[in-house]
Amino acid sequence: MEFKFFLVLLTNFIIFTLTQSYLVEIDDGLIEGTTMQTRYGVEFNAFLKIPFAKPPIGKLRFQKPEKNDKWNGTLNATAYGPICIQSVGRYEISEDCLHLNVFTKNLPVNNLKPVIVYIHGGSFDQGSGRNHGPLYLMERDVVLVTINYRIGALGFLSTGTADAVGNMGLKDQVMALKWIQQNIAKFGGNPNNVTITGLSAGGFSVTSHLVSEMSRGLFHRVITVSGSITGYERFESDYLDLAKYLATKVNCSTSDITAMIACMQEQSAESLMKIDLSPTRFSCPFNLDYYPVIEKDFGQERFFSEHPLKTLSNPEKLAKVQVMVGITEHEMFYLVPLALANERFMAMMNENLPSVVYHCFNLDHQPKDVTDLRTIYFGHNKIDQRVFNGLGNFFSDGTIGHGSHKLVQMISNYIDVYYYKFTYIGRYSVFNYPREKPFGMSHADDIQYVLNTWYVGEDINITDPENLMIERMTRIWAQFAWTGNPNNYADEYIGEMRWPKYDTKDEYYMEIGQHLIEKHGLFLERFSIWDQIKNFAAKRTALNLLLIIFSFLFVKLT
């Protein structure tokens, strides 16, 4: 009997020892987290739902984030919090969502480890820090942070007045990065070695931080996955018409902007996010409803004070950090069935392709001649299901591929850039077509080998064939976070890789597939067409200038 009692006590002690969590104290107060395990049974600490800003409710709706208040007692950080208000999702939603999650194996704190901050995608109207989990990356020697930020109207509504200047979601990200600088050392992370990474709209976000003065000094490396600010030419200073449309849908008067915003601050967040925006948009199967803006100056700290492409062109204004840029082989092929099912859109593709290119790919002008574009993607055929692959490449390049190409070309003369194309096809994909099997390597497929996701497929076990790619990708990410260079010749999983920096002469990139292969010139023939289309306005301006000069000389000579 005594022996059984001893066994019970010993068992309870072991269970307590294995499941106890550390208390971490920051300036805001004590935080109690929980423990998790990697696939190999390695334990790590998880601190969930840590507030980094005040709840953006009431008068704080549509405004920049404000520092959160300290808490009394111990913050319970053992469970995920709600995600930011959105129209779709599988988790609890709330406007009180400005939280972050910290995952670390470095407690009690030993030597400080690199920090990787993941900024989720979702077209700026969906997604959360819960979409991507820590189980794979925590097998490496890093600290991981995932964050929420405001999305949709609550994160990006802009009136062009001081009432709602816009870019609230991006400023939330800045606030989270400031929190990391102030507090991450208590969790074993190095505030002087922070890598920001993001997918899709998250990639747009992390490349936006490259050029924003608000973000300067808050990070030291960038990994952008299938997304770049350089994919967007048309930046506005407001979306007042859209704001007024939303106001009318919740019975707010639009005659006075200040009163309109005050009225919208009193409406339920859910009612604003559920408004159907389809009457306000062009018939694209892949357009964004909300965009960041170039803020007008009302005395506030501005996230964008000028066009981001102008800032990127000035090396003095560019953050001097190492950058890794990646795309997948079949980025936007999942849009093809959606487009083919949209008769109105397909009619526009055949009858007015310049208008489609202008509206759907965010150009700052409507191109007059798209003959080369039509030829390279569709040949001389009618645009329909017979050019399925051409449509897939067209959507992929116009939305993601060319923007990434433009980014590496613009910044590689000033900072170290590593460029890759992901081609590995496993069993799980965002786009299973036509027989419920992966069509290829789609948009958002590659991140599943770095962070476990619920929307792609099952978590991958160490005995699964895809485990090789998890071992490889998490090591590449961690190596880059440690050194700013993804190469590690001593590592058994990536030692075969010889990944040179990108330059505009040789245009190196790494093909990450079943093998790691150094290549040159990623999709250059296709991207050159977009170079011509997107540079049309600049060429036209240069031509006009030459005409003026020749006219002036002609007058002088005669």
pLDDT tens digits, 207-242: 999 999 999 999 999 999 999 999 999 999 999 999
Query: Tell me, what's the pLDDT at 278?
Result: 86
The 10s digit of each residue's pLDDT in 118-163 is 999 999 999 999 999 999 999 999 999 999 999 999 999 999 999 9
The 10s digit of each residue's pLDDT in 160-184 is 999 999 999 999 999 999 999 999 9
Residue 539: pLDDT above 70?
no
* Three-state secondary structure call for residue 529: helix
Q: Determine the Cα–Cα distance for residues 417 and 415; give it in Å rounded to an integer.
A: 6
99 forms beta bridges with: 51
Is the pTM for the entire model greater than 0.95?
no
Active site residues: 200, 331, 443
Number of other residues whose CB lies within 10 A of the CB of residue 306 = 14
Residue 232 half-sphere exposure toward CB, CA atoms < 13 A: 22
The 10s digit of each residue's pLDDT in 186-209 is 999 999 999 999 999 999 999 999
Return the closest-CA partner of residue 460 out of 124, 38, 23. 38
What is the rounded average pLDDT for all residues in the chain?
A: 91
Residue 526: pLDDT above 60?
yes
Number of other residues whose CB lies within 10 A of the CB of residue 78 = 15
DSSP per residue over 457-494, as a string? Answer: SSPPPTTSTTHHHHHHHHHHHHHHHHHS----TT-TTT
- Domains along the sequence of the chain with CATH: 2-238+282-543 (3.40.50.1820)
Q: Determine the Cα–Cα distance for residues 102 and 81; give it in Å rounded to an integer.
A: 13
* Three-state secondary structure call for residue 117: strand
Return the closest-CA partner of residue 388 out of 335, 352, 465. 335
Return the closest-CA partner of residue 226 out of 44, 442, 14, 528. 442
Residue length of the chain: 558
**Mean pLDDT, residues 364-371:** 91
Residue 16: pLDDT above 60?
no
195 forms beta bridges with: 116, 221
Residue 156 corresponds to which amino acid?
Answer: F
Query: Tell me, what's the pLDDT at 20?
Result: 54
Taking the mean position of all CA atoms in its chain, how far away is CA 507? 24
* Three-state secondary structure call for residue 392: helix
Residue 244 half-sphere exposure toward CB, CA atoms < 13 A: 10
